[in-house]
Every structure is written in structure tokens, then in C-alpha cells.
Amino acid sequence: MLGSLSQLMSSSSSHVQDQEVPRPQTAFQLLVTCADLISQSDYSAAKRLLSVLFSDSSPYGDSVERLVYQFVRALSLRLNRHGIPTSTAPVPGVFSVNRSIVSTCPPCGTNNYKMLSCYDSDQETLRSCYLSLNQITPFIRFSHLTANQAILEAIRGGQKAIHIIDFDIMHGVQWPPLMQALADRSSNTLHPPPMLRITGTGHDLNILHRTGDRLLKFAQSLGLRFQFHPLLLLDNDLTSLALHLPSAITLLPDEALAVNCVLYLHRFLKDDSRELLLFLHKIKALNPTVVTIAEREANHNQPLFLQRFLEALDHYKALFDSLEATLPPNSRERLAVEQIWFGREIMDIVAAEGEGRRERHQKFETWEMMLKSVGFNKVPLSPFALAQAKLLLRLHYPSEGYQLQILKNSFFLGWQNHSLFSISSWH
């Protein structure tokens, strides 16, 4: 963590007398002080402090200035929710990227839930940011590569059919490497490649169909028999999904089932876990050969605002530091990922409350306890999967700052000594 709150507050107050305190440390301390003032409903003092922070931050500066800028936007949005307008509030409907304006939605006032929903409204902008995130950071590729290897090792050769349920398939970038691996594996044996079926869930039927078409063309180029089944989820009603899941998924005889949950399950964490446990029970009842789970290694499901703020500041500082060390300041992709993708998450964690808050990340111990409680057992990830992940980092992201650890038969990828993502395999 960034240090205890009392330490941070003490250092922050002493900053006035001690001009030798480094600026990055001071910026974080002032952010924590501002969040503490908001938690105590001292909104006037918080507003004055936000003005100071805003003048010392920039979306185009170093990693500290960029991080402070995103958290100032989020705190301003939280103040707006309490009816305290600020000059530092994010302008609804626009994101500034590389000093140009990317429109995302028409102005919608100062209601934080409406504003947060605006940041999800332009699917093409989010799609571009997701693909940039996949290119400039190793976290998504690491999750996909390790999950694919777990699926390949759990489902050995000889099966006639493989069925993958991918919850929130998005653009399907995870699956071409797995298709290639299946084709390569069958070429070295007497068995023909298995029939591959993917059921992909999502909230936009057009995106699902385009994803299915792309995967079908790639499968045909490899000579793989392939089917894609879109499963449209109209809302985040996990209870409804759990109840209808058995009828929505049709399994063929002798078909091996893999369930893929990459950066998905945290969206359904609430103040209690009953809905999520019901969903996991239904997954278990399908008797999958393997279930792959990747999640953020962070605790953003804290009910108390100040605790959640500190956890978020700690987590995103490591993420922004990794971008600072691996990309130039004027990288358009970096700016988009920081302001749109991570900025959207920070706003949700800091500014939203109750049912409107979606980014509820939990650390691995919580997921482990939950999965074991419904009968899942962990499958150790293999030495080959570890070698692949290390090769990915060495070839595509050659920075010593990225650290890969193995704990409890699961992989953790982080920056420096700070774990940021975990991936595990279950049956």
C-alpha cells in the first residue's frame, strides 16, 4: 500500500513547512487528504484542495501527473454527485486524447451514473481502446495465453468436439492462437482436429456476429470445423443468467467443455455474493473439463469509500508507472488507454456507489475461497505455461519491471513488486 492513512495525512500537513518533500509524494498525500475530506463530508475544503491538485496535474505529463489528473476527475465527479459543482469536473461527452477531442456522447448533466454510462456509450471508441490495451500492455495477452494453454492441457487430443463458453467474448482476440494450436496438434497425430464450438456472450448482437464471422474465417483458413453461437445478455442480471444457463447451453455427446472467465466475474460482486455463488454453482453443474479465471489483483470492493480510494490509488499507480516505463509520453495509444479505459474504471471505483458501481475487483484469496466453496478444485498451471508467459514478456514487452510469480499453483503478473493480475485454472 501507499502507507497508512495517518502517515500520509501527517506528511501532507507537514508539506507546508517542508518544501523539500518531493512533488510526487506530495501529490499522492494531497489526493488522500482530499478523499478523506470528502469521506467526512467536508466538501468545501475538498473542493479547494481539488483546485490545487488540478493545477499540478496533466494528462500529458509524467506518470504521477497523469494519475493525479484521473483521480482529480473522479473526485470532482463524486463532489458533483453531492451537489458541489467544481471547475475540475470532467466534461461530459468528450475525452481528450493526444490534444484532440474524441466525442463519446452528448452532454448529460452532472448525474454521475448518467455520466458514467456515457463513457460506455461509444462502443467503437471502447473497442479501439481495448485493442490498444491488448497491444501496449502484456496483461490481456498474458491472461489469454495462459488460459488457452490450460484449456489445451485439460482437453487432450482425441476428442471429437470441444465446446468453449466465453463469458464476454468481446472481439474474440483470445481464440485464433488456440485454433492454431489445435490445428498444429492434430497435424502431428493420426486424429483429425476436433470440431470447435464457441458460445460467446455479450451485450451487442452486432459485435457478437462480427466476432463470430472473423473467427469462422480464421478457422476455415486452418481447416478447422467451427461453429459460433452468440448468447446475448441484455443486462447484468446474474440470477436470470444462472437460471437460464443450462437451457442456453447445448452440449453434444462426447464434447469436452471449457468455461472461460477472463476479467469477467468481478462485475457481479455486490455487497453479498449470493448471486455470484448461484452462477458458479450452475457452471459447476455443467461439469466442465476446465474453468479458466483471470482477474485484477486488487481490492476495489471495499464498502467504505476511503479504503476503496486508497486501494485504487495503489493499484493504478503501478499500472501508470508501467506505461511510463514502456511507452513514450506522446503515445496516442497510451493516452487513450489511460484516459478512456483506465479513466473510466477509476471514475467508477471512486465516484459511483451502490448498485451503480461495477468495477468491484477482489484479490485472489477471495476468488479461491468462493470457487472452493462451490466444489471447484484448482488445476496447477504447467511449467510449459510458465515458459510461454515468460517468452511473451521477453519478446513483446522487454522490460525488467514486469514480474511473473507463481503462488498457490496460480500465476500473478505485476509491475515491480506489485501484483496486478492473477490467472488460475479449475475443474
Residue 92 φ/ψ, nearest 5 degrees: -65, 135
DSSP-derived letter for residue 90 is P
Q: pLDDT tens across 15-25, in order?
A: 333 434 344 45
Q: What share of the chain is helix, strand, coil (3-state, %, to 5)?
A: 50, 15, 30
Residue type, 17: Q
147-203 pLDDT, tens digit each: 999 999 999 867 889 999 999 999 999 999 999 999 998 877 777 889 999 999 998
- CATH 3.40.50.150 in the chain, residues? 138-297+363-377
Question: How many Å apart are CA 388 and CA 145, to the nearest integer?
Answer: 8
Of 284, 343, 289, the C-alpha closest to 116 is: 343
Polymer length in residues for the chain = 427
The residue whose grid cell reads 500520509 is 8
Q: What is the DSSP letter of 168?
A: T
Which residues of the chain carry a pLDDT beneath 70?
1-25, 87-121, 157, 235-237
Residue type, 293: I
Other residues' Cβ atoms within 10 Å of the Cβ of residue 122: 18
Q: What is the pLDDT of residue 260?
A: 98
43 Cβ contact list (under 8 Å, min separation 6): 37, 79, 82, 84
Distance CA 231, CA 155 (A): 23
Residue 404 pairs in a beta bridge with 413
Please give the grid coordinates belonging to residue 113.
Answer: 451514473
The greatest distance separating any two alpha carbons of the chain, rounded to the nearest whole angstrom, comes to 77
d(CA 220, CA 76): 51
Per-residue confidence (pLDDT) for residue 19, from 0 to 100 = 39
How far, in Å, CA of 42 to CA of 294, rounded? 39
Look at residue 390 and give its three-state secondary structure: helix
Q: Are 271 and 263 in contact (CB under 8 A)?
A: no
Percent of the chain exceeding pLDDT 90 equals: 67
Residue entry with cell 454510462: 117
Q: Quick one: which of 423, 352, 278, 408 has its CA closest to 115?
A: 352
C-alpha cell, 249: 447451453
**Burial level of 245, CB count in 10 A (0-12/13-18/19+)?**
middle
Instruction: Measure the CA–CA gap between 400 and 420, rounded to whole angstroms.
Output: 15
Architecture of domain 138-297+363-377 in CATH?
3-Layer(aba) Sandwich (3.40)
Q: Cα(121)–Cα(92) distance, rounded to whole angstroms? A: 12
E strand or H helix that includes residue 321: helix 305-326
- pTM, two decimals, is 0.87
CA torsion 244→248→253→258, rounded to 10°?
-90
Question: Angle, to 10 degrees, between the axis of helix 43-55 and the axis of helix 63-81?
Answer: 150
> Which amino acid appears at position 406 of this protein?
I
Q: Are 324 and 334 in contact (CB under 8 A)?
A: no
How many whole angstroms separate alpha carbon 102 and alpha carbon 367? 37
